[in-house]
Structures are given as C-alpha cells and as structure tokens.
C-alpha cells in the first residue's frame, strides 16, 4: 500500500518513507531500506529516530558517510523549511520596506534591514539545497552490482559497488546510467543498469 501511495498518488511523506524503510529491512532488502530512509531524512533531517536508523542501516551495509562541516550545516535544514523561511522573510522585507516608504518610521527601516540580513543567509542556503537535492541526481544502489566501462553488457567490468551505496547519476543511455562515486578518497565512474538504482530525488 505504501508503494502505491508513492508511485501512483505521488505522495511525498516522511512517515511513509520511514515505514517502508523498516518493512524493507525486515524483509532483507537493505538497498530499498536505505533508499527510503534517505528520502525520509531529507524531509526531516533533525529527526533523531530517522537519523539513528540511517546510521544503523549504513553500518549494516558497511558504509561510512563522511561529511564536511558545510555539508552538515546545510543538511541540518530541509529544503521545505528553507523555502518557507526564505518566502516569509522576503514578504516581511517587502512589507517593511513598503510601510517605511509610506510612513517613514525608523523602526520599519530597521525591520527591513534585519530582513535583508536574514535573506542574505537564506538565499545561499536555498541555492545549495536546490543544487544538492534537485540539480545533482543521487541514487542508491539497490543490489551489489558490477560497474561496466560502457552502457551495455558487452562492456567489461571495472569495479564492484556494494548495496546501499549513494552515487551521483551523471547521464543516461537507454537502460543504463553513468554514475560517479567516491571510494578511498578518489572518484570512480562507470555504467550500471537502471534496475539496480533507486533515485533519492523526489
């Protein structure tokens, strides 16, 4: 029932993703369990239970997620939160500025100035979140797979990627995806079939 809500009804709900993740883990499908908990984490990045489950599933998969401070700070807020905050602050700024032009009160000028400061903070955060979660196409490897040198089974295997690994999708060619992943501080690229990947992007 949860899958039909997502695929047919296009529901984007953290509780559905969270419950799906638990169900897939109980059924031994680690790849899809990680995929759904990552989707839940994007919607509720500060939820302790979701964060704990994400760390646990990555540990079970033998994966280590290393993040820099800027990444951690940006991921502290969800895209929905930053979008709503930016919209509210922009409205407050325009309102304060408009009232200041009409009434010329110092308090309104200060309110507009404070709003500008918050906008300067929110806009780069919003841009980074859009880039990280929409512009950059990320996916989870649903089952351990051999990565090939080109799009097709006739191409040679160049490395193996584990189940649950997060990868960036660079391009597509038919039923194949060109992916990039980080391994031992170096970038690796290759091709994997569509069926072996689950997109994190909403």
Domain that holds residue 182: 137-199
Listed residues 134, 150, 177: the one ending a domain? 134
Higher pLDDT, 65 or 61: 61
Higher pLDDT, 150 or 183: 150
Q: What is the pLDDT of residues 138-160, one digit of tens each?
A: 999 999 999 999 999 999 999 99
Number of domains making up the chain:
3
125 and 148, same domain (yes or no): no
185 and 143, same domain (yes or no): yes
Listed residues 20, 49, 65: the one ending a domain? 65
39 and 55, same domain (yes or no): yes
Listed residues 115, 134, 153: the one ending a domain? 134
Mean pLDDT of the chain: 87
152 and 193, same domain (yes or no): yes
Q: Could you tell me the CATH number of the domain that includes residue 27?
A: 1.25.40.10
pLDDT for 73 equals 64
pLDDT higher than 70, residue 67: no
> Helix (H, G, I), strand (E, B), or coil: what is residue 199?
strand
The pLDDT of 170-182, averaged and rounded, is: 93
Decide the pairing of beta strands 197-199 and 186-193.
unpaired
146 and 189, same domain (yes or no): yes
Highest mean pLDDT among 96-110, 118-132, 187-201: 187-201
82 and 126, same domain (yes or no): yes
124 and 145, same domain (yes or no): no
Structure tokens at 138: 């990320």
44 and 25, same domain (yes or no): yes
Helices (H), the chain: 2-7, 14-26, 30-43, 48-60, 69-74, 79-103, 106-130
Higher pLDDT, 164 or 75: 164
Check: CB of residue 150 under 8 Å from CB of residue 173: no
142 and 119, same domain (yes or no): no
Q: In what order do the strands lie in the sheet with 176-183?
A: 157-161, 145-148, 186-193, 176-183, 166-173, 138-141, 197-199
Q: What is the pLDDT of residues 110-145, one digit of tens each?
A: 888 888 898 888 888 888 888 888 888 999 999 999
What's the CA gap between 177 and 169, in Å, rounded?
6
78 and 127, same domain (yes or no): yes
127 and 172, same domain (yes or no): no
């Amino acid at each position: 029932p949860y899958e039909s809500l997502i695929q047919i009804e296009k529901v984007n709900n953290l509780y559905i993703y969270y419950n799906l993740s638990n169900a897939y883990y109980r059924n031994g499908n680690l790849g899809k369990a990680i995929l759904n908990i990552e989707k839940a984490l994007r919607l509720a990045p500060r939820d302790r239970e979701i964060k704990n489950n994400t760390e646990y599933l990555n540990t079970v998969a033998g994966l280590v997620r290393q993040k820099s401070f800027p990444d951690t700070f940006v991921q502290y807020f969800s895209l929905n939160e930053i979008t709503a905050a930016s919209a509210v602050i922009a409205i407050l700024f325009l309102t304060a500025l408009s009232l200041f032009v009409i009434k010329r009160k110092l308090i309104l000028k200060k309110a507009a100035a404070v709003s500008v400061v918050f906008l300067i903070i929110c806009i780069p955060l919003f841009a980074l979140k859009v880039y990280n979660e929409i512009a950059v196409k990320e996916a989870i490897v649903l089952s351990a797979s051999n990565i090939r040198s080109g799009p097709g089974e006739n191409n040679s295997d160049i490395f193996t990627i584990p189940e649950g690994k997060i990868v960036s999708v660079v391009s597509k060619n038919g039923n194949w995806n060109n992916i990039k992943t980080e391994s031992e501080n170096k970038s690796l690229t290759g091709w994997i079939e569509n069926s072996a990947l689950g997109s994190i992007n909403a």
